Chain A
């Protein structure tokens, strides 16, 4: 009972600010600090604003790419490392450890400084060797640098999560499977994968969330591109209008919808598999 009340209070703490964001997105006044009247005009404004839509698209592309890349690379690396001992393993552990530990702001700065330095060297070279001297390609910061920088952190996150799951996994099943002459691939698909898939899913979701919400790395390495957090940051500095609240509310509603769909799908699959058993 105490636990229930406590949890309720924590949820209240989590949701009161969100309630305020949603409430003020319907404010008909321009200033976010005074509630004048109800209106949905800021939603129309936000949706017809090409900057907002571009920023949203960029963020979705970046977050999806980073989450997909890190889920795949993180899982394969975790499985590979599981089979290894010795110095290579130690080096990898060190790299994973460092990439998780280094603050995003340092990743942002380091990526910026390194890429700008490389581009300054490569761009004149490219211009010189490019056969069609009209339009030599110019390397610059953009989607790829943001995705690459996000993936560095999120990939390591997936490795840690998946590895934790592998460690806690029931080994007797694998041994049994091997004893029954299943191929390694069969063992992987039928025993290992189902057991680690919750960790992969969690890793994907965490990666997506991290990347979608990241401001500081993108702030340094996005170049001329604007992600949604960068757009919101400049909106807040401009003196926030309810338009930003409307954007926040829409993001919330969309993710809520996606989660509900995901849950319905999961549940129907669970029901199906329990029937099959």
Chain B
């Protein structure tokens, strides 16, 4: 591994990725940080300056931050609760013949547009959807659309496949002979699950939760469509700042803050979920 040829090969393999990271990640983030210390031009946009004004104004978006920080973990948790049994069923119980088909069926909704699928829920949860059905059985005055509930439904619907897949992948690697051996040794199915299956699936669970959480932290569409402008995420605040009030410096400050919050929460999260095996090369990161 220490030989010269090997390290040249390694460098060549890494070069395109390195370039990509520098141009598309490091440089843009530096620009955003610079902008966040600037001022809004009179007609909108950016004027160079060095001020902390934008950061001082951050508390005016507190509700958007707390909303996001509530709905992102909640949404990830709901996805996990609903996805895990399905992933387990697909990986362990389903015969090889049906596996692929059922797996494809999970991801297939992903191949219609997220927008259209979310739009379908406006219709289902709207006044002429479920509330009308409920009225038929005598429950009146139920309002679902433009509520936190509608947003959670939209989140679970939108991100479920992202949770099912990583869990499935990690469970699928599980050697089923282990389970057989455990059962031969007199372990109950529940004990086998807790002692063998669950730990083995943790990387998948961690990946899935991370993916959903991260995507939710920047979510814009679901609250915009199903929250009716009432359930407001940071993503909505950012779109507003860049595409409506044209306040680029403040928008940059909000974006920087969002990234900081994510770095902190995700690092903490990883320490908690993977602290026990930090010495190992964990498969998530």
Q: Which residues of A contact B (CB under 8 A)?
A: 3-4, 6-7, 10-11, 13-18, 20-21, 32-33, 73-74, 76-77, 79-81, 83-84, 92-93, 95-107, 109-115, 117, 148-149, 151-152, 155, 159-161, 163-164, 167-168, 202, 205-206, 209, 212-213, 215-216, 219-220, 228-229, 232-233, 236, 240, 244-245, 247-249, 251-252, 255-256, 259, 263
Contact = CB atoms under 8 A, between A and B. Distances in A.
A102 B262 contact: yes
Contacts of A99: 21, 25
B24 interface: yes
A151 B20 contact: yes
A80 B115 contact: no
Interface stretch (B104-112, B133-141, B144-152): B104-112
B221 A114 contact: no
Nearest to A159: B17
A252 B114 contact: no
A229 B115 contact: yes
B24 A213 contact: no
17 contacts: A17-B109, A17-B117, A77-B17, A97-B285, A99-B21, A102-B259, A103-B258, A105-B238, A111-B24, A113-B31, A115-B28, A202-B169, A213-B110, A213-B111, A233-B115, A259-B104, A259-B108
B220 interface: yes
A209 B165 CA distance: 13
B117 A18 contact: yes
Contacts of A233: 115
B15 to A, nearest CB: 9
B258 to A, nearest CB: 6
Interface stretch (B55-63, B119-127, B180-188): B119-127
Contacts of A263: 100-101, 104
Contacts of B196: none
Given A73-B16, A95-B25, A240-B119, A14 B10 contact: no
Given A103-B217, A106-B258, A7 B111 contact: no
Q: Interface on chain A toward B: helix, strand, loop, or mixed SS?
A: helix
B188 to A, nearest CB: 17
Contacts of A205: 107
Contacts of B255: 105-106, 109-110
Contacts of B88: 3
Q: Interface on chain B toward A: helix, strand, loop, or mixed SS?
A: helix
A97 B262 CA distance: 11
A10 B82 contact: yes
A113 B31 CA distance: 7
Q: Which 3 A-B pairs have the closest CB atoms?
A: A103-B218, A110-B28, A80-B13
Nearest to A110: B28
Given A20-B123, A148-B23, A114 B109 contact: no
B4 interface: no
B276 interface: no
Interface string B11-41: 1011011001101111111011001000000
A32 B123 contact: yes
Given A148-B24, A164-B203, A105 B218 contact: yes
Contacts of A202: 165, 169
Given A18-B120, A259-B104, A167 B17 contact: no
